[in-house]
Amino acid sequence: MVTGPVQQPSLVARPRVAQPAGLPADPRSLGLPGEPRPAGLAGDVHALGRAVAAASTEPRWRETVLLRVRPVRQGFAEHVRATEGPTGLYRELLTQSPRLDHGVRLLTREHAAIVAAILAVQQIAERPEAHPDELRHRAGHLLRRLARHRRRGADLLWEAYQTDLGGET
């Protein structure tokens, strides 16, 4: 059984992070200063999506995308450690609900594909000759994969902890 509550992204006011010299102050903000914004990986993914959407309209779009892809890469690496590690969520799920083995294996395989997609977006943004359309194509692929992975993970947790298989009354 999960020893603590399963954390879902919440809306919290996040402090503004200092931008590197030459970049506009928070060009991908999610609203007015002080407004709530998604926390953690979800907020970082959202900020990356907004940076990619503005890729050809902003003069320093490569730097902005690179600035936004780093926290996504780091946050996803932390997600992988928290779920796949020896004391991770997936091991705990399988201990309590072995019937979820297929779903856990599917999510684990998706981790490698998502890491590769993150690196592809980063590599495109690093190439000076890369066109913004190429970046948008790859980033769109990444964002769809992340959304699908998050949905599958949520469905797996629902199945593990909310499905009544009978027994106690």
46-103 pLDDT per residue, tens: 999 999 988 878 778 889 999 999 999 999 999 999 999 888 999 999 998 899 999 9
Question: Per-residue DSSP letters for 87-145?
Answer: TSHHHHHHHH-GGGHHHHHHHHHHHHHHHHHHHHHHHHHH-TT--HHHHHHHHHHHHHH
**pLDDT tens digits, one per residue of 120-162:** 999 999 998 888 899 999 999 999 999 999 999 999 999 888 8
